[in-house]
Chains A and B, each alone.
Chain A
Amino acid sequence: MKVIQKIGLSLFLIGLVVFTAIPFLGSYQLSQEMVEVNTKELHLEKMQEILSPIYDEVYSSNFQFLGAFNQEFGAYNDALKAEGKWDEVIWDDYSFPLAKAALSSPVKANPWLWMSLSIGLAVLGGLAYNLPKYQGEPEGVKNNGIFHSKMKNRGWLGILTGTYLILFYVILYWFPAYLVNLVAMVDPLSRILSGNPASQWFLYGFVYTLAILVMGIRMFRKYRGNKYQQLRTASVMFFQTAFAFLIPEILVLLNQPYFDFKNIWPLDYDFFYSYQLDTFLSNGSVGMFMLIWGIMLIIIGVPLFTYFYGKRWYCSWVCGCGGLAETVGDPYRQLSDKSLKSWKIERYLIHGVLVLAVVMTVLTIANYFSDFWLLGDVTNQLHSFYGFAIGSAFAGVVGTGFYPFMGNRVWCRFGCPLAAYLGIVQRFKSRFRITTNGGQCISCGNCSTYCEMGIDVRWYAQRGQNIVRSSCVGCGVCASVCPRGVLKLENGPEEGRINEMPVIIGNDSVKINA
């Protein structure tokens, strides 16, 4: 490792430690005014009553403050629940806005400084570590030492990383109030972009985008000399930064609905939820455009682009989940399970999620257009189940937290309903395939090992057969790592796309129909 890389690694680790320590800084003091500002009018009176015991009390950590808050708030709700007075229970979670308001900390006082010390150092360190990689070496993909690595082969570093990610996601989704320091840190940035204070989702989106950018630069180094890999990496970096991060924030600044133009139902599972439809319908021509755009992507964009280019146009060139998987997740791609058994599980799971998403959405729409007489509030429970189990637990905690354990495409392979939809089109009506180069395969296994989707590419290649699989996201790494030039991603005529080769080219002893 070069000196600059060592410095980079140290800076990254310092940044990471600061980032991890920030939530524990500062003190919390709740006042009556804060509750007034952050509480719905409906709950205001009750909340004042519930929280008055902790007013003006100084708590020296988030644990103490949230402990006290939850005690008061929980006691109130529990009593009502015990009496079965469900209507009076306060279901809204006020812990996050109130903790954020009650916080006073050096981070909140000096957000830019702390952002530089945490996220800034981590980004700088990441760049200093990645940019000098492979300098002075001839071009070519090097997977040297991956299975000797403690990070990339489920060693202690990998386990540590996975555990950290899982914890981060659990706190982010279900206990965001503990992260208010970090959110306060990115408040000024959020105000610049959208005019509003930051939420935990802004923090997440910001870190997510930076992670894709820094690790995207790593991809440029790792796959130098490989135009296909570089272009698709540049593409996911662009779509994440512009479409997923900046444009939605700027839309808000312009008083338009927050909208990610590249997010497609059913991955974007709340697209047809009543509050979304209301938003679209109450925002004039812009809202109407968003609604129509989203529907056009579903019914025309997906089938058309997938017909011409395969699902890769989305999964490894545009998608945000795919973007993270292909950059941050790339060091873990070899950990996907290639067994036949895992393929079977994959097909049940991913199509199961697709069915669930479709059923939920159909019910939601029917309910919406029947003015809620059909199911009333039942769809809400369906939504919270789906949001919890699929949207948060599967896509987030498992989808990303499990990178170091099960590879970088756990969500895309086993859970993403949009990938399932794209995959069905790709399998049955598409020009895309991975062509096998005649008889040149030596069964070495590099292609299968580095397939993030767990496709046993070699199984087909060594039979001279083209690879036509619904799950293939077209990342092209199998073709990059093949030492004998056997695999090529192609869009071509549908005829001969699926070829059961009776004889592999090169042996004239075996005659067809002999």
Chain B
Amino acid sequence: MDSTRHILIIGNGIAGVTLARHIRKRDEQVRITLVSGESKYFFSRTALMYVFMGHMKFEHTQPYENFFWEKNRINLKEGWVESVDFDRKQLSLKSGESLSYNQLVIATGSKPNKFGWPGQELQGVQGLYSKQDLELMEANTTYVKRAVIVGGGLIGIEMAEMLAYKNIPVTFLVREKGFWRNVLPQEESELISEHVKEHHIDLRLETELSEILDDGNGRVRAIKTNQGEEIPCEFVGLTAGVKPNVDFLKNSKLEVNRGVMVNSRFETNIPDVYAIGDCAEFQEKPAADRKNIEQVWYTGRMHGETLALTLTGQITEYQPGVWFNSAKFLDVEYQTYGIVPADWNEDDFKNFYWQHPQKKVAFRMLMDTGGKLIGVNNFGFRLSHEFFDRAIKEGWSGQKVIAQLSKANFDPEFFAPFYIEIQKEFLKQIGGDFKPAKRTLIQKLLGASV
């Protein structure tokens, strides 16, 4: 290919950075530029909460040392993009500077949803997505007696934990009947809801925000719920999901719906313009179990890996593999492999669920009616990605998975062998032709009790 080819990537999040790295691995010559107004150097967005809580400094969230970019000849350009001239293949920055490209990749990520609540622009009201949001939150939470968080998802619970670090009492409004109930099945959702309360967070289920009230100086004074209750607060976290960050592309030649419209090769309606990560919207779902907009760290990375092949001469369709995800809800870790919907029809799936009588430890497995593994959720203990990726791909039966569960265990050494309890429970609930694993000598000696 042309040695002076210039690939310009807007956005240096996980999608854009993965793309840049993988292009460079396969092509020594091509010029690569990453443009970002948020931060010169790539950082891990998921780690912002840890900076707030003093677990890390901001520079610890940067996965590569600063010399890395120059060494790999990935040009870093700081600046916010104002507009793109697709005909002249040029974009202009807010600083007035303009940059030209041969191929353009839009990887601008998301921004917090705001649903037109009255008062949503008041001071002390904010979402949490970017580095700037973090800085704002640090400023906004200096003198706060009470905070309200709106939206029971992953960012909401992170924000609750962050505020708890500052000893700020939190009221957590969740529209659904349980925490993250639109993703988690009922039992799991209840488990986490309980854990949230254990942390003295005032969780209000089935409660929505109706209005944010002004203190007369443009700052938030209180909120009103849809049940008419007024809750005084000096901080409101809006965490009801995110949407593609594509406002600067609206009213251009580029086809934009909720996100930038792309096909399975991440191609937009304009030649040489691509979109990946949170800001891309697939014309058709990448797979039956996927959404048109994928807003997860892992998918952003995979989009980058995939487009890098296309941009280095090997045209490649995006084919996601077995779904997986993970999160941490305060102290409880969560992983999922395969498909476990929030609700399902009893006739379509065979369901197995085990929960520890006291601890926040749980395991769910869904099988099809023939007993074949569909997906698992695990809470409070760790399971191997490799094991489940293989089991789902190879179409193992649920029974085979449970029989071999000790091999899937990813907890540290000497931890309680929860898999034995799960095996016993499976035999009780579903039955099967295997024996539960025995506790090892070490487990017996050191009393790793379940």
Give A contacts to B, CB under 8 Å: 138-140, 143-149, 226-228, 231, 339-340, 435, 437-440, 442-446, 448-449, 458-459, 462, 476, 479-481, 483-485, 488-490, 503-510, 514
Contacts and interface: CB of A to CB of B under 8 A. Distances in A.
Interface in B269-288: none
* The 10 nearest A-B residue pairs measured at CB: A438-B385, A140-B331, A485-B382, A444-B47, A227-B414, A148-B54, A483-B328, A507-B302, A508-B321, A509-B306
Contacts of B62: 445
Interface in B309-329: 309, 314, 316-322, 324, 326-328
B326 A440 contact: yes
Contacts of A146: 54-55
Nearest to A461: B63
Contacts of B219: none
A438 B54 contact: no
A92 to B, nearest CB: 51
Contacts of A446: 47, 50, 55-56
Nearest to B443: A227
Contacts of B446: 227, 231
B414 A479 contact: no
B448 interface: yes
B298 A506 contact: yes
A445 B60 CA distance: 6
Given A144-B55, A227-B415, A485-B335, A506 B302 contact: yes
19 contacts: A143-B54, A146-B55, A147-B54, A227-B412, A228-B415, A340-B67, A440-B335, A443-B46, A445-B61, A458-B63, A459-B63, A481-B55, A483-B333, A485-B326, A488-B412, A505-B385, A506-B321, A509-B302, A509-B317
B415 A506 contact: no
Given A437-B382, A484-B326, A509 B316 contact: yes
A505 B389 contact: yes
B195 interface: yes
B177 to A, nearest CB: 23
Given A437-B384, A438-B384, A446-B56, A484 B328 contact: yes
B450 interface: no
B277 to A, nearest CB: 14
A504 B413 CA distance: 25
Interface string B60-74: 111101010000000
A504 B298 CA distance: 10
Contacts of B63: 443, 445, 458-459, 462
Contacts of A483: 328, 333
A476 B412 contact: yes
B326 A489 contact: no
Given A506-B320, A506-B321, A138 B50 contact: no
Contacts, number: 163
Nearest to A488: B410
A138 B306 contact: no
B373 to A, nearest CB: 16
Contacts of A476: 412
A505 B321 contact: yes
Given A443-B63, A484-B326, A508-B321, A144 B54 contact: yes
A226 B306 CA distance: 39
A445 B317 CA distance: 31
A41 B306 CA distance: 84
Given A484-B327, A489-B412, A505-B385, 9 more contacts: A145-B53, A227-B416, A439-B301, A442-B326, A443-B46, A445-B47, A488-B412, A505-B321, A507-B319
B188 interface: no
Contacts of B44: 442-445
B309 A510 contact: yes
A438 B65 CA distance: 23
A363 B135 CA distance: 61
A445 B56 contact: yes
A439 B385 contact: yes
A434 to B, nearest CB: 11
Contact of B386 (A459, A505, A508, A509): A505
Given A485-B333, A509-B320, A138 B198 contact: yes
A489 B413 CA distance: 7
Contacts of A504: 301, 305
A339 to B, nearest CB: 6
Contacts of A440: 298, 324, 326, 335, 385
A466 to B, nearest CB: 12
Interface string B353-365: 0000000100000
B14 interface: yes
Contacts of B430: none
Contacts of B316: 509-510
B319 A508 contact: yes
A514 to B, nearest CB: 7
A514 B319 CA distance: 14
A514 B298 CA distance: 22
A374 B328 CA distance: 65
A443 B321 contact: no
Contacts of B330: 138, 140
A138 B195 contact: yes
B57 interface: yes
Residue of A149, A444, A446 contacting most chain B CB atoms (<10 Å): A444
A507 B331 contact: no
B94 interface: no
Nearest to A459: B63
A509 B306 CA distance: 6
Nearest to B388: A438
Interface in B416-448: 416, 446, 448
A439 B63 CA distance: 16
Contacts of A143: 50, 53-55
Residue of A443, A449, A504 contacting most chain B CB atoms (<10 Å): A443
A166 to B, nearest CB: 25
B322 A147 contact: no
A437 B410 contact: yes
Contact of B56 (A138, A438, A449, A510): A449
B165 interface: yes
Contacts of A480: 412
Contacts of A147: 54-57
Contacts of A145: 53-54, 165
A152 to B, nearest CB: 9
B14 A443 contact: yes
B162 to A, nearest CB: 10
Interface in B178-201: 195, 198-199
A503 B389 CA distance: 13
Interface in B19-51: 44, 46-47, 50
Contacts of B411: 488
A400 to B, nearest CB: 24
A229 to B, nearest CB: 9
B84 to A, nearest CB: 26
A137 to B, nearest CB: 8
A490 B412 CA distance: 8
Contacts of B317: 509
A228 B442 CA distance: 12
Contacts of A458: 63
Nearest to B409: A488
Contact of B321 (A437, A481, A484, A507): A507
B65 A227 contact: no
Residue of B67, B195, B302 contacting most chain A CB atoms (<10 Å): B302
Nearest to B415: A227
Contacts of B396: none
